[in-house]
Amino acid sequence: MRRSTFHTIATVAGGLLGSLFAALDHVEAAAISLTVGVGVGVVSIDASERRIPTRLIWIGAAGLMSAALIDFASHHDAAPLVAGLIAAGVIGVAFGLVYLWRPEAMGFGDVRLATLTAGTVGWGVGAIAAALAAVLVASVGASVTMLILRKRSLPFAPFLVPAALVTIAFG
């Protein structure tokens, strides 16, 4: 099996599991499934090739929207969905501005991944602050590592995905 096929299958499986867990009223498990599904492909590709495939972000976003809408339909509570949308919007704008200001600091795939991750954490935990904390922790971790290693850039996904998982699990 080609590596890209494996990454796509992992992302789709994460979306399907996330939707299933949302239907079973296990929102945190749904958010973890979505994050792991996207993370499997994104982390390895970003670490080795320094890029984040757009197709994996779109598949992850479709899985997130499916799970969030299933959760909303079964509980009629829009608060987690709104928290996810606000978190995604805030992080998306902030990272987009950094990308426009210093495009050498990060690629646009990092902007998309941070936006998707903030939306997933915000929805899964139901708190905008948790999503912002996950992205902040990952940003600080990457910055400190860059200073220690004296590098001008690092792949961001290997920092962001674990920070999101810890935030969801303990948030």
Contact 120, 87 (CB under 8 A): no
Taking each continuous run of H as one helix and of E as one strand, the counts in the chain are: 7, 0
Q: What is the pLDDT of residues 20-44, one digit of tens each?
A: 999 999 999 999 999 999 999 899 9
Query: What's the whole-model pTM score?
Result: 0.89
Residue 53 has phi, psi (to 5 degrees) of: -65, 130
Contact between residue 121 and residue 165 where contact means Cβ atoms under 8 Å apart? no
Mean pLDDT computed over 35-56: 91
Contact 111, 99 (CB under 8 A): yes
For residue 53, pLDDT over 90 is answered with yes
Q: How far apart are CA 95 and CA 86, in angstroms?
A: 14
Domain ranges within the chain, ordered by starting residue: 3-170
Whether the pLDDT of residue 171 is over 80: the answer is no
pLDDT at 151 over 90: no
